[in-house]
Structure 1
Amino acid sequence: MRTPWADGPAYVTQCPIQPGGTYTYRFTIENQEGTLWWHAHSRWLRATVYGALIIYPKLGSSYPFPKPTHEIPVLLGEWWDRDPIDVLRQATFTGAGPNVSDAYTINGQPGDLYRCSSKGTVKFPVNSGETVLLRIINAALNQQLFFTIANHKLTVVAADALYDKPFPTSVLMLGPGQTTDVLLTADQTPGRYYMAALAYATGQNVPFDNTTTTAILEYKSAPRSAKSSKPILPRLPANNDTATVTAFTSQLRSPSKVNVPIKIDENLFFTVGLGFLNCNPGPRCQGPNNTRFAASMNNVSFVLPTRTSILQAYYQNIPGIFTTNFPPVPPVKFDYTGNVSRALWRPVFSTKLYKLKFGSTVQIVLQDTAIFSTEDHPIHLHGYHFYVVGQGFGNFNPKTDTAKFNLIDPPQRNTIDVPVGGWAVIRFVADNPGVWLMHCHIDSHLTWGLAMSFLVENGVGELQSIEPPPPDLPRC
């Protein structure tokens, strides 16, 4: 709270740390327990620069479930057989979609379903009968992922560093940026079982990495013959299995009744999705039908400054860096998930922020669009957790869909996957002053501008105001 200088997005809250430079992030964790993660937030550096951030219960308190025997961080990643920055440069130059990755990884290793990587396959040893807490993080750059373990049920107990009402499942889906904590009981015949992750891909005619990464859950008491045999492979969902995703996400609930904002001060409606820029045929126009890809919220494609960060410009009153006229609703209403007119394909490029008063209550309808293709978008809001009060498919209907909101025990997240061809509604209280980026966590979409930022004003007094910038803040 009050430390947006420690948030990290380049040119939003700070300028990048220069080669050879250092910067110490200082922040206070409040009202969070469970699994978060840290990662680079400059270009595509987070493809390799990331790690787990685990928040344990306070001394003297414990988990709201039986204490597991031990804990295992499981980081799902994405790997290219070339420098990811080169992949980004090529896509930026051509205007086309980026080359898809060559592998997914579990704790840095692809697993033995890929050629030449069997020796490095990650193994997780367990004792029969014990319960293990898996802290699963989707650190993949551009892909939502299914996760499952052969023959084992998983009990979901937390997501995005907040506990939920426990429920069993055999398959998880995590969008990039999301975390899920699950309990696993080693109650199967001693042997070797694959844990596996593969793509949940929703964009029509959009290429994706159709490989499967694996690690091995190995019972210590397994007979020698079992330890030398091929592990059991789980039943894997189809890459477009939206029904399984919906069944999973619909079970997420807060553990008990929560204080959802009821009276709304800011009622916002944001369209999210891809668009196109028309251009002359050539090497810089290799998107569909000689176009370049773009992306936007409410038809505004977010442009990062280059000479200072937005937060520094706000704090130091530097003019000409941003405006505060981000539209609260789409400039033009249309059939968002239907046949969209070509006149609506091209977004406006700008650094527009939306200003919120300290303490105001906010509702945002996040609506997927079909300008290029309907697609599941993992939308992440920096600086906040929010309540997910409703989700559905098609165009959001305020008359009928509002009546179905869960205002009793909705889940809290910091990243919400907006359903493919659908919508999600979130609510939060703007009580953390600063500049906070809201963006799609598919980094190719962020590169194309699928983002915006909130400017949350200071409240009254020191405890409702941004702390001064630290002395080692990177220079612009």
Structure 2
Amino acid sequence: MKQEELKSLRSELTWRWADGPAYITQCPIQLVNPYVYNFTITGQRGTLFWHAHTSCLRATLYGPIFILPKEHIPYPFPQPFQEVPMVFGEWWKADTEKIISQALKSRGAPNISDAFTINGLPGPSYNCSAKDTFKLKVKAGKTYLLRMVNAALNDELFFSIANHSLTMVETDAVYVKPIKTNIVLITPGQTTNVLLKAKSKTPTATFAIAVRPYATGAATFDNTTATGILEYEQPSSSKNKKLPLLKPARPKFNDTNFAMKFSKKIRSLATAKFPANVPKKVDKHFFFTVGSCPKNQTCQGPNNTKLAASVNNVSFVLPNIALLQAHFFKKSKGVYTTDFPTNPPFKFNYTGTPPKNLLVNSGTKIVVLPCKSSVELVMQDTSIVGAESHPLHLHGFNFFVVGQGIGNFNPNKDPKNFNLVNPAERNTVGVPSGGWVAIRFLADNPTQVSGLCISIWKYTPVGG
């Protein structure tokens, strides 16, 4: 390769390698070596976030990203009086790297966190944390835009404020048709913007802000609640009075019915200014089953004995060289293969009793897509170990959630009900517990070299 070509290639890769998990698009950043991420914002706006992507470092290393509209460009909803970041996370007393290491040795799920947090603060529902409480102070009659980020490791979260309704206006940095709701469900990796309209008159009470998990799996889960407080500015004559704290109603921790109904309400604006460019014609179809290898079976995961998350019976093995790097520098031989199955190796009742032998194998396998091909991917949850909601994030692309349902996906009937007019446009979605979700996207964010145009992507199971 000529020197000028190599220089151009490195320039191209500078921004292409600025998004993605370790060893997928780039190698991890070395200790004490700085790394500057350069990326171009083109046509994007809204709330996003960043986090570490190696092992459990993302438990504590994360933050929000706010991309404002261009100057003099208004929001497609009432202008808020104030914008408030609200980042939901988890906190451990122990070293999270030691926790995940112990889990790998024991073959079980990692220990749950000691607390959920709102902007780093757990709130009064945990021992000794009453002083470490997020407080939102508002003025009567004003409207506030809450920019919410779920940076928790595994848990989908219910969010609510006592005696207040919310209006969803954006998900994953895409405007949506306004949805009035008392409860918001937000999956790990998702962002959601909601409008909070303060009461017209100053109430003589304070209001709890609650964040608690939505959990459907059979494994141990955290049923605690991070609590913040919504306070109204009080007249000077009432400032020293202790006001009662009202608590919000919340769904059951495993309310799958609520989760499904909530997700189906989300719709793109689908206007001339904010179109929903969902692919109508599909070039590539994929059907992925997601789950884990059953207990007491050899899964050919690490050490050949652990529970191993799998897609189409393949458990992903991290390479020693980043996939994108191996491709660009023509060193892919022995690093990965391009035979990732487009369908599971055999059919079974995915949400019923699983077969005794699932033939799970491990490997570094990828899907190669022609540039600008349109893709439809159906992800089917399975009852292997236990039905569980699996959040999925796709790096490098937004996608449209064209359909979802409970039970086994029916390729002859279900596509007839796909929403191809105004489906939700997202970068993260939950595969419903005991159900399926169908997404479509255009593979138009390619990596290029020598005329070859491909998109490398992988499924990252969370909590499974």
Give me the TM-score of the superposition, normalised by structure 1. Answer: 0.88
Partner residue in 1 for 2:88: 76
Alpha-carbon contact 2:309-2:315 (below 8 Å) kept: yes
Alpha-carbon contact 1:177-1:441 (below 8 Å) kept: no
Alpha-carbon contact 1:33-1:163 (below 8 Å) kept: no
- State the 1:146 CA deviation: 0.5
Give me the CA root mean square deviation. Answer: 2.0
- State the 1:381 CA deviation: 0.3
The whole-number CA distance in structure 1 between the counterparts of 2:428 and 2:293 is 22
The whole-number CA distance in structure 2 between the counterparts of 1:272 and 1:242 is 18
429-438 or 232-241, larger mean C-alpha shift: 429-438
Alpha-carbon displacement from aligned partner over 1:296-353 (angstroms, at most 9, x marks no partner): 11111111112x2111100001121111110111111111111111111x52110000
Match of residue 214, structure 1, among 227, 231, 245: 227
Partner residue in 1 for 2:341: 327
1:46 partner SS: helix
- State the 1:206 CA deviation: 1.3
Q: Which runs of 5+ in 2 are unaligned?
A: 1-11, 448-454
Alpha-carbon contact 1:276-1:292 (below 8 Å) kept: no
Q: Which amino acid aligns with 1:63?
A: Y
Partner residue in 2 for 1:460: none
Match of residue 169, structure 2, among 140, 157, 161: 157
- Give structure 1 regions of 4+ aligned residues with deviation exceeding 3 angstroms: 222-227, 276-280, 434-438
1:250 partner SS: helix
Within the alignment, does 1:439 sit opposite 2:439 as a pair?
no
- State the 1:279 CA deviation: 6.3
Match of residue 400, structure 2, among 384, 387, 397: 387
Alpha-carbon contact 2:368-2:456 (below 8 Å) kept: no
Within the alignment, does 1:51 sit opposite 2:63 as a pair?
yes
The whole-number CA distance in structure 2 between the counterparts of 1:437 and 1:354 is 7
Quick one: structure 1 residues 227 and 390, their matched pair in 2 at CA, closer, same or farther if it must change by over 3 Å?
Answer: farther
Alpha-carbon contact 2:295-2:385 (below 8 Å) kept: no
Within the alignment, does 1:276 sit opposite 2:294 as a pair?
yes
1:119 partner SS: coil
Q: Which amino acid aligns with 1:103?
A: A
1:392 partner SS: strand
Partner residue in 2 for 1:360: 373
The whole-number CA distance in structure 2 between the counterparts of 1:233 and 1:278 is 44
The whole-number CA distance in structure 1 between the counterparts of 2:41 and 2:156 is 27
- State the 1:439 CA deviation: 2.8
Quick one: structure 1 residues 381 and 226, their matched pair in 2 at CA, closer, same or farther if it must change by over 3 Å?
Answer: farther
1:362 partner SS: strand
Match of residue 142, structure 1, among 145, 154, 160: 154
Alpha-carbon displacement from aligned partner over 1:207-238 (angstroms, at most 9, x marks no partner): 10110001111101267478634421101211
1:267 partner SS: strand
The whole-number CA distance in structure 2 between the counterparts of 1:105 and 1:16 is 27
Q: Which amino acid aligns with 2:111?
A: N
Alpha-carbon contact 2:172-2:426 (below 8 Å) kept: yes
Give me the TM-score of the superposition, normalised by structure 2. Answer: 0.90
Q: Which amino acid aligns with 1:393?
A: I
The whole-number CA distance in structure 2 between the counterparts of 1:394 and 1:7 is 34
Within-5 A mapping of 1:218-367: 218-221=231-234, 224=238, 228-256=242-270, 258-276=276-294, 278=296, 292-306=306-320, 308-318=321-331, 319-344=333-358, 346-367=359-380
Within the alignment, does 1:201 sit opposite 2:221 as a pair?
no
The whole-number CA distance in structure 2 between the counterparts of 1:72 and 1:312 is 39
Within the alignment, does 1:406 sit opposite 2:419 as a pair?
yes
- State the 1:436 CA deviation: 4.2
Partner residue in 2 for 1:456: none
Q: Which amino acid aligns with 2:328?
A: Y
Quick one: structure 1 residues 267 and 228, their matched pair in 2 at CA, closer, same or farther if it must change by over 3 Å?
Answer: same
Q: Which amino acid aligns with 2:317?
A: V
Alpha-carbon displacement from aligned partner over 1:447-472 (angstroms, at most 9, x marks no partner): xxxxxxxxxxxxxxxxxxxxxxxxxx
Within-5 A mapping of 1:6-155: 6-155=18-167
2:254 partner SS: coil
- State the 1:398 CA deviation: 1.3
1:355 partner SS: coil
1:120 partner SS: coil
- State the 1:437 CA deviation: 3.7
The whole-number CA distance in structure 2 between the counterparts of 1:247 and 1:279 is 36
- State the 1:249 CA deviation: 1.1
Q: Which amino acid aligns with 2:280?
A: I
1:89 partner SS: helix
The whole-number CA distance in structure 1 between the counterparts of 2:20 and 2:437 is 26
The whole-number CA distance in structure 2 between the counterparts of 1:270 and 1:322 is 19
Q: Which amino acid aligns with 2:378?
A: V
1-10 or 43-52, larger mean C-alpha shift: 1-10
Alpha-carbon contact 1:135-1:179 (below 8 Å) kept: yes
- Percent identity over paired residues: 50
The whole-number CA distance in structure 1 between the counterparts of 2:258 and 2:326 is 45
- State the 1:293 CA deviation: 1.1
Alpha-carbon displacement from aligned partner over 1:75-132 (angstroms, at most 9, x marks no partner): 1101112111111000011111111111100000100111101111111111000000
Match of residue 421, structure 1, among 434, 442, 445: 434
124-133 or 259-268, larger mean C-alpha shift: 259-268
The whole-number CA distance in structure 2 between the counterparts of 1:162 and 1:256 is 11
- State the 1:31 CA deviation: 2.7
Alpha-carbon contact 1:111-1:214 (below 8 Å) kept: yes
The whole-number CA distance in structure 2 between the counterparts of 1:219 and 1:259 is 42
Alpha-carbon contact 2:125-2:225 (below 8 Å) kept: yes
The whole-number CA distance in structure 2 between the counterparts of 1:48 and 1:338 is 37
Q: Which runs of 5+ in 1 are unaligned?
A: 446-476
The whole-number CA distance in structure 1 between the counterparts of 2:139 and 2:243 is 19
The whole-number CA distance in structure 2 between the counterparts of 1:78 and 1:436 is 30
